Amino acid sequence: MHPVEVTQIAKSFGETRAVVDVSFNVRRGEIFGLLGPNGAGKTTAIRIMLNIFQPDRGEVSVLDGPMTEDKKDRIGYMPEERGLYQDIQLERCLLYLASLKGVPDQQAREKLSEYLARFNLAEHKGKKIKELSKGMQQKAQIINTLLHQPELVIIDEPFTALDPLNLELVKNVMEELRDQGVTIIMSTHQMQQVEELCDRILLINDGKNLLYGDLNEIRRRFSGHAVLIRTEDKLPELPGVKESESHNSNLKLTLMDNTSPQDVMKALAASGTNLEKFEVAVPTLNEIFIRVVEEGDAK
């Protein structure tokens, strides 16, 4: 059984259908990307998983069964709409929230010291939350999500307001957690981070599954039967090439269905063209995202 199993959930608010039909599984010890444009139904799906909302239809299994009160301590959640108590000190705020997760005081203090040091917040622990910068508050939120050492982490836009150094730090922490067997569901619009971190993804729009599965497999599926080349020579007439267009500093050759990249490479070699670069064109996740969402909207 997977730590998270969501089967055909649906949820409406009055006339608005927030989630129509969403299903997915999240495997133990993976970083799973939950993607979708704004208003796609991601937050509602997460809230259903956490039992904040009851689904109108469908089933949810979290940590081997229905979501119950006692499982709350085993889950770390960083919501989209986030905040901490603005008028109290960072350390006090995080210790209080950890105590609500049932963490013994001494254990919470020890773990908090570790995290504060790692996230370079130790010297700010006596400051009120409102006195911290946005980036610092973001790191404090991440600490709050992880302080009770959860088995399942659900984290919405973890990289917001982080500079490149801190972004790298958060990515490292997430990778370490994954290596320790923690299951992570990450929702973000930063596709580059998804490509670097996630093993599998679910893309939803209008409350429905659009794309679901292994990230590499999805990218292969959308590779679009094209190659990218770079050469100083004049390009000869190539059989099986449908279209040629400039793509950054490269040329992108779109192939006919019966032509393979190997056929093109052979043809280029036979013509004596000096190649600086030759690679199968694989679209970025960002391109896949835009294409799938636009196609979905057109339908």
Partner 1 sequence: MNRVWRVALYEYRRNVFKKSFLWTLLSIPLMVAFGVGSGFVLESLLDNDLPVGYIDQAGIFENAIPAPVSEREEPVEFIPFQSEEEALASLEAKEIQAYYNLPADYYETRTIEIVYSKKPAENANRQWWDFLQINLLSDQPPEIAYRTAAGTDVTVRSMDGKRSVADSGPLFGNLMPLFITMAFLALILMSSGYLMGAVAEEKENRTMEIVVTSVSPLQLIGGKLLGILAIGLTLLVTWTLIVILGVYAGRMMGIGWFQNLAMDWGVILATAAIAAPAYILVGALMIAIGTMVTTTQEGQSFSSIFVIFHMIPLYISFAFLNSPGSSLAVILSVMPFTSLMAVAMRNTFYSVPTWQVAVSVCVQTISALGAVWLASRAFRLGMLRYGQRLSWRGLFQTGQAGE
Note the residues at the interface with partner 1 (CB under 8 A).
Answer: 12-14, 47, 50, 52-54, 69, 72-73, 75, 77-79, 81-86, 88, 96-97, 99-102, 144
Structure tokens at 226: 């094209």
Smallest gap from Cβ 43 to partner 1, in A, equals: 9
Nearer to partner 1, 17 or 225 (CB): 17
Smallest gap from Cβ 180 to partner 1, in A, equals: 22
Nearer to partner 1, 68 or 262 (CB): 68
Smallest gap from Cβ 80 to partner 1, in A, equals: 8
Strands of the 57-62 sheet, one edge to the other = 57-62, 4-13, 16-26, 208-214, 200-205, 31-35, 183-187, 152-156, 75-78
Identity at 123, one-letter amino acid code: E
| Chain-centre distance for alpha carbon 256 | 34
Total H helices, total E strands in the chain: 9, 13
C-alpha angle 27/7/145, rounded to 5°? 50
Local structure of residue 234 (DSSP, 8 states): P
Smallest gap from Cβ 100 to partner 1, in A, equals: 4
Nearer to partner 1, 144 or 190 (CB): 144
Nearer to partner 1, 152 or 288 (CB): 152
Phi, psi of 250 (to 5 degrees): -110, 175
Instruction: Provide the β-strand partners of residue 35.
Output: 203
Smallest gap from Cβ 249 to partner 1, in A, equals: 45
Nearer to partner 1, 132 or 215 (CB): 132
